Amino acid sequence: MKSTKPYLIRAIHEWCADQGYTSYLAVKVDATTRVPREFVKDGEIVLNIAAEATHQLHMGNEEITFQARFGGRPFPVVVPIERVAAIYASENGEGMAFEVTAKSAADGEAATQEIGEVAGDMPAPKPERVATRPVLTLIK
């Protein structure tokens, strides 16, 4: 059975656009995620995926791809759906959070992994650190 996650991400993104809100995507970065590494903090990056901030945005069932400017330079972004931690409106924090998983090379099934195990070049986040992102609520 297909995951509902990509469908929910697209729905929240569309809801944000309809409300005039800015869609933000919180991503747990690993080796399968293509983002500018200088903007990654503690193994995470928050991306503005509103129409005004992206070019050629494609939200598929396996990955989200688009072009965006970081520090004035264009960059092709690729985010596997399983690495999306949340999507929310920046204006009010309403959105949805998700479990972050990674594909296991051994058996092809989704398995939860620590960021440091996959990324190699980035330290794993400290367990005692609490992420500072908006409180997310389910859309009614």
- The pLDDT tens digits for 44-98 are 999 999 999 999 999 999 999 999 999 999 999 999 999 999 999 999 999 999 9
Q: What is this structure's pTM?
A: 0.73
How high is the pLDDT of residue 129?
A: 35
Please give the residue that has the higher pLDDT: either 25 or 136.
25
How high is the pLDDT of residue 101?
A: 75
Give the three-state DSSP class for 27: strand
Q: Which fold has domain 5-119?
A: SH3 type barrels. (2.30.30)
Altogether, the residues listed in the chain come to a count of 140
Residue 1's pLDDT band, with cuts at 50, 70 and 90, is confident
Domain positions in the chain: 5-119
Query: What does each C-alpha distance from 64 to 28, 35, 60, 72 come to in angstroms?
Result: 13, 12, 6, 21
